[in-house]
Amino acid sequence: MKQLLVTTTGKGAPLVAIHGWGMNSAVWKTVRPALEAEFRVSWLDLPGHGINNHIRADSLQDIVKRVLKVIPREAHLLGWSLGGLIAQCVALKIPERLKSLTLVASTPRFSQADDWQHGISPELLENFAKGLQDNPAATLKRFIALQFMGIKNARAIQQALIQDIVSNQKYIKKGGDGYANYLHALKLGLQVLSTTDLRQSNPDVPQHYLFAEKDKLVPAEVINDLKLLRPDAQITLLKNAGHAPFMTHPEEFVSHLLAFIQSNA
């Protein structure tokens, strides 16, 4: 099994950052200097993405198995969106090796269900799956646009993210090296988002859920359900932010993250 490549920078306690669906570790660049000043950060690209585009994972279990091999001892784990789902699975496997778990715009179950109304609609996930067949780049741009919908003064940030994730990544070009791996990773990611349900599996790690008031993908209303499901978890709501609050509200995001981690140092 090929081991994931990891870029590690900064000094301090270990922090592992895991990106969301279709993205790579470039998503953290807005908060990267602030986090590097406090932590030794492992910027992780999931299989099929970024510097790990040469690696193909075939299941959620396969992804988790690979991620487990690069988690330092006594690490703080930070996962955004799909990355938060991966982080929860990792925490369930090695709670004794982790100091804390911060989940950004992430829940134990992403897709809606009869008993879980505040999730991503199955129709939206299905539309993304169909769009991948015809034009992955256009589908990614649409997904990025959803993350910033209704957020003031976010156009420049949105365009920069498209540049980092879509325009500068050669493997997104159809027929290019790594294209098959990336497309496979996108499809697997949607499957994980559609089918994974961790509501009955609570990691024995201090947990911080960070939501955004204007998130169009993970509605803030899920907080009420989560309080019942994870009564011991800390829950933070960022006002006027969308699905990627660390990009649009970096100082506020880092402040909440540091306060939680320092309380579990």
Q: How far is CA 147 from CA 4, 20, 82, 162, 216, in A?
A: 27, 11, 13, 12, 7
Q: Return the H-helix or E-strand segment holding 246.
A: helix 245-248
Q: Does 256 qualify as catalytic in the annotation?
A: no
The active-site residue, picked from 25, 45, 76, 81, is 81
Active site residue 81: yes
Residue ranges in 20-152 assigned as alpha helix (H): 32-36, 60-68, 82-93, 122-134, 136-148
212 forms bridges with which residues in the sheet?
Answer: 238
Q: Which of 25, 42, 111, 215 is catalytic?
A: 215
Tokens of 251: 């100082």
Choice among 49, 76, 208, 243 that is catalytic: 243
Contact between residue 108 and residue 198 where contact means Cβ atoms under 8 Å apart:
yes
DSSP 75: E
**Token pair for 15:** 């922090």
Active-site residue 42, yes or no? no
Return the active site residues. Answer: 81, 215, 243
